[in-house]
Structure 1
């Protein structure tokens, strides 16, 4: 298929005012200006005159399919709150891909989602990235072990306070995380020593430590739920101690720490932006957060935290960030190329470039406005 005469917002450079996109199977085969277009015999041609063409939108932090729409406990599979340390859990095993929110995501132009366990546990489990079209999760996955979810602040405290067990303070939450990371580091060292010396036995298999080894080897990142400024600083402190790469999730008070975050080369996923200050650690919430972070050089993506905010309102959230002072081009990047880069999946998604997945969204008008609706969505080279 070849798409012709559209304005292409590649997110890899300046827009192409009148261009073409050629796809082959699930991939983008060619992108260029119409003056360089050469027709191919028997090729399906899709006319896009007057449309703006954008990369499929990416939600860098959500729980789609883990808390199912219109259900209570029966559809709640995001928090295993019987143990505060559960790194061995995998989000991929909890997602229902035929839950109707996936259809709504796709209709809203969201073609890629990063799905994490909830924030009840200080260490919650593995995060995955997947496409929003399909009926079997194994066919939708982009990256099964994308990151490890951690949580600081009120959520772990509240969860375990009601059970009368630790952690019930921020001190205990941080200590529990440190303990598990230190144990994993020793476990990893013992495994490596045994591999080098046949006279040494390997340590007894530990499922939790095995799950955290990729993190300590810096093969994956920590995604850390942290709203308040002190929690953000604790996250950075722990990651520095254990030499871990990390992304700050929510980062509600990031605006108060923006120069410090920039100096540390931190990345942030901000959101949800359309909600009330429903708990104490949201007291500093402001819609100019992403603008302040961006101005200070902090790479920032925008998320819905679905189901906190329905996922189809991701582009509207980017529009709210523009209202808060984020430059329009940066807002587009915050739901396309920036989340792809932050999450390490920009080799496949986030921009319209040769070799990347053929995920595209067509709009007539402003995609970040309250009334915007995609005219057409293409995912994996197929029209939705």
Structure 2
């Protein structure tokens, strides 16, 4: 495919005001200015976008698409295995329904990939997965699996289990349970490395990529003290962390920046339904950006709907984030935080041909999604009735 006459925003590198992007198979072959554009090859599809914005497909770095379906009640809710506070062996790949209509809503909004996985009822919820938004088989849609191990601080786990007179009933209990399982995982890792392990443990094996820093601990933390507890434990056990929600991150921006851990901020387009989100504001994005924190923006779908990811980016700009920062927060920054930037998040030769064509800036509410290309194939175009 040859896309011509577009305003090309690679998200890594300078904007090309009038340029082209050429794909070959499922990857990007090249891009550049129109005067350098190659002649179409035999049978090559030419897409003249007539000045439209051509960008990498957008990315939602934290949601529950496919695993917590709208209007399906318990039948469509596979988000939390809330029978035990520690469930590291639970895998999102086994719970995602690719037929969830939210996948198509995501495509219409310009989103070509996302991180989905367990919720925050448990101290340790299980393993998340990074997916493309188009497909019928979750194994084929997967880009990275497992992509993260979910953990949660704050109100959710203590309310879930404290209400049953089980641990954790306090924030102290949550931290203690997480420390305990990480301590056990460290011991397990050591024994396996030394060859003294008697038998493999199904609950311990999922921790090895976390301890080896191949995937991060994906931590649900809203309140400032919960964010700092997550950082404290991560440093104690020498693991990588993403600070998901990070609602009060603007109150401790310097401390977060010093930690070196990235933040996935949101969902801010929702009600202040809990005490721990009373200081929720779109200004968090800009404050953390200015502090030097690598930031992404999320919807936490269905808490706020995935179709509103571009709107969330626009509202972050309205409250102080730079336009460049907001666009990166839903493309290359999200890809870096999710550790898939070798494949998605920017327009670069060799990367997946996941491309969004918009009539204008996608954070503008009047902008239309003209074309969505995933793995080099057009999966949506404006006016599509499917």
TM normalised by structure 1 equals 0.97
1:362 alignment partner in structure 2: 357
- Whether the aligned pair in 1 keeps the contact of 2:23 and 2:29 (CA below 8 Å) is yes
Shift of 1:375: 1.2
1:18 alignment partner in structure 2: 18
Shift of 1:373: 2.5
1:234 has 2:229 as partner: yes
- Whether the aligned pair in 2 keeps the contact of 1:64 and 1:101 (CA below 8 Å) is yes
Shift of 1:75: 0.8
1:3 has 2:3 as partner: yes
- Per mean C-alpha deviation after superposition, the further-off stretch among 42-51 and 25-34 is 42-51
- Per mean C-alpha deviation after superposition, the further-off stretch among 51-60 and 159-168 is 159-168
Shift of 1:50: 1.8
Q: Determine the C-alpha separation between the residues in 2 that align with 1:50 and 1:313.
A: 24
1:127 has 2:128 as partner: yes
Q: 2:249 aligns with which of 240, 246, 254?
A: 254
1:149 alignment partner in structure 2: 150
Q: Counterparts in 2 of 1:189-200, with a 5 A limit?
A: 189-194=190-195
Shift of 1:57: 0.3
Q: Determine the C-alpha separation between the residues in 2 that align with 1:289 and 1:269.
A: 11
1:91 alignment partner in structure 2: 92
Shift of 1:68: 1.1
Secondary structure class of the residue paired with 1:284: coil
2:370 alignment partner in structure 1: 375
Secondary structure class of the residue paired with 2:29: strand
2:104 alignment partner in structure 1: 103
Q: Determine the C-alpha separation between the residues in 2 that align with 1:182 and 1:147.
A: 18
Number of residue equivalences: 378
- Per mean C-alpha deviation after superposition, the further-off stretch among 248-257 and 361-370 is 361-370
1:198 alignment partner in structure 2: none
Gaps of 5+ in 1: 195-200
Q: 2:206 aligns with which of 191, 208, 211?
A: 211
1:75 alignment partner in structure 2: 76
Shift of 1:260: 1.1
1:33 alignment partner in structure 2: 33
Gaps of 5+ in 2: 380-386
1:295 has 2:296 as partner: no
Shift of 1:369: 1.6
- Per mean C-alpha deviation after superposition, the further-off stretch among 361-370 and 329-338 is 361-370
Shift of 1:326: 0.4
- Whether the aligned pair in 2 keeps the contact of 1:360 and 1:378 (CA below 8 Å) is yes
- Whether the aligned pair in 1 keeps the contact of 2:18 and 2:51 (CA below 8 Å) is no
Q: Determine the C-alpha separation between the residues in 1 that align with 2:327 and 2:168.
A: 39
1:64 has 2:99 as partner: no
Shift of 1:216: 0.9
1:197 alignment partner in structure 2: none
Q: Determine the C-alpha separation between the residues in 2 that align with 1:363 and 1:103.
A: 17
1:344 has 2:339 as partner: yes
Q: Deviations over 1:315-357 (max 9, x none)?
A: 1110010111101111000000000011110000000110111
Q: Determine the C-alpha separation between the residues in 2 that align with 1:228 and 1:12.
A: 33
Q: Determine the C-alpha separation between the residues in 1 that align with 2:297 and 2:105.
A: 18
Shift of 1:202: 2.1
Secondary structure class of the residue paired with 1:208: coil
Q: Deviations over 1:255-301 (max 9, x none)?
A: 01111111111200001121111100001111100000000100100
1:184 has 2:185 as partner: yes
Shift of 1:24: 0.7
- Whether the aligned pair in 2 keeps the contact of 1:150 and 1:222 (CA below 8 Å) is yes
